[in-house]
Amino acid sequence: MKTHMNMTPTPSQTVGPFFHLGCTEPGSTGCLVTADTKGERIRLTCRVLDGEGVAIPDAMIEIWQANAAGRYDHPEDTQALPLDSSFHGFGRLATDGNGACEFETIRPGRVPANDGTLQAPHINVSVFARGVLTRLATRIYFAGDAADPVLQLVPAERRDTLQARADSSQANHWRFDIHLCGGNETVFFDV
């Protein structure tokens, strides 16, 4: 008896979506600010898309950023800059049915690069999604900001994939699309 084997991957052969089980709902942090947080408040909508531009409704986004003065709330950041006790710089959300999630945060201050020059304001991002075996690390820069030594390492034609765009219909609202693959693939960093 001859059998035919189908070698097409099925959903049971891919990773996830398991993030909603223990990482998001009880551990969700979409609002990083309080009434006492210093800095320019912004809303940041992140959207995760596949190579065809289809929204991924079950991804998880984590963000990590410096405070308005340019200092991280971390013991290894020993800069002589003020900490803000009302801002810790970490957020985590699951994407919704449109592949989006929205953070309430502040525009981060500039932090030093390894050579001592200042980096442009940016937010560090980790992306977790089905079929992705390890986190994808990227950055969000704000369109129109100063040059950045890390961004300069990215080929000029790909830098646009790291730029959040201001939403002209809403004040202090930024949008950032994360394309996991394809022609518009976001630049991911090997960290």
Indicate if the pLDDT at residue 168 is higher than 80. yes
pLDDT average, residue stretch 47-70: 96
Cβ(148)–Cβ(154) below 8 Å: no
Cβ(91)–Cβ(45) below 8 Å: no
Indicate if the pLDDT at residue 132 is higher than 70. yes
Indicate if the pLDDT at residue 62 is higher than 70. yes
pLDDT at 46: 98
Instruction: Tell me whether residue 62 is in a domain.
Output: yes
pLDDT at 146: 77
132 Cα distance to chain centroid: 15
Give the confidence band of 84 by pLDDT, cuts at 50, 70, 90: very high
Cβ(68)–Cβ(138) below 8 Å: no
Indicate if the pLDDT at residue 13 is higher than 50. no
Distance CA 11, CA 91 (A): 29
Share of the chain above pLDDT 90, in %: 76
Q: What is the pLDDT of residues 91-126, one digit of tens each?
A: 999 999 999 999 999 999 999 998 889 999 999 999
Give the confidence band of 131 by pLDDT, cuts at 50, 70, 90: confident
Indicate if the pLDDT at residue 166 is higher than 90. yes
Helix (H, G, I), strand (E, B), or coil: what is residue 152? helix
Instruction: Tell me whether residue 152 is in a domain.
Output: yes
Instruction: Tell me whether residue 94 is in a domain.
Output: yes
CATH number at residue 151: 2.60.130.10
Strands 60-64 and 90-94: antiparallel
Instruction: Tell me whether residue 189 is in a domain.
Output: no
Instruction: Tell me whether residue 83 is in a domain.
Output: yes
Cβ(71)–Cβ(61) below 8 Å: no
Cβ(104)–Cβ(41) below 8 Å: yes
Number of domains in the chain: 1
Q: What is the pLDDT of residues 72-81, one digit of tens each?
A: 999 999 999 9
Range of the domain at 37: 24-179
Give the confidence band of 22 by pLDDT, cuts at 50, 70, 90: low
Instruction: Tell me whether residue 190 is in a domain.
Output: no
List the one residue out of 119, 56, 126 whose CA is nearest residue 90.
126
Instruction: Give me Rg for the CA atoms of the chain.
Output: 18
**E strands in 65-189:** 90-94, 100-106, 122-128, 136-142, 163-166, 173-179
pLDDT at 12: 45
pTM for the whole structure: 0.87
Instruction: Tell me whether residue 18 is in a domain.
Output: no
